[in-house]
Amino acid sequence: MEMMRFFWTLFYVNLFTIGGGYVMLPILHTEIVENYHWLTNQEFVQSIAMGQLTPGPLTIMNVFIGYKVFGFLGAVGALISSYLPSMIVATIVSRYYLQFKNSWIVNSSFKGIRPAVIGLLGAVAITLAGESIIDLSTAAIAVGTFLIIAFTKSDPTFVILGAGALGALLY
């Protein structure tokens, strides 16, 4: 029963994830960590890292969460419930895309949602930073990662692997 609730949660989280994988994080964090306590903050950060280490969208991190909380069945169900909203909505939109793309409601809503997502993500970043930045070295790794990715266009996968290696050396 709890597993069904987990799948349903992933379904509506992804239904409201409009405009990029990172939009998912604030909603997912509220539901998975704060409402249902399926993961701790730390485990949530680890799931993001797992999602970054694999090719493709960050959404795949939900499979890791499913596996961690409910085992193999949880992983398969997480995959299906995370991609089902995309498949339903994008298929319908593909059919009527001209009306959809030119609708003023769609376009002006997005002008509101885009800045809002920045605010949401900022709030989550602060929560996660409180958990992951525990001393000077972790602060340095976080700042270093920010600078490398924001200003050099490096691949996040390698930066995360590098940070893992640094962690192994430092602790």
φ/ψ (deg, to 5) at 36? -105, -10
Question: Which residues have CB under 8 Å from 79's CB, separation 6+?
Answer: 60, 62, 63, 66
CB of 119 to another protein, least distance (A): 3
Q: Can you say how many angstroms the Cα of residue 90 is from the centroid of all Cα atoms in its chain? A: 19
CB of 69 to another protein, least distance (A): 11
The first and second tokens of residue 67, run together, are 């596996």
CB of 144 to another protein, least distance (A): 7
Question: Which residues have CB under 8 Å from 61's CB, separation 6+?
Answer: 47, 48, 50, 51
4 vs 71 by CB, closer to another protein: 71
CB of 72 to another protein, least distance (A): 8
Query: Residue 71 is which amino acid?
Result: G
Under DSSP, the state recorded for 72 is H
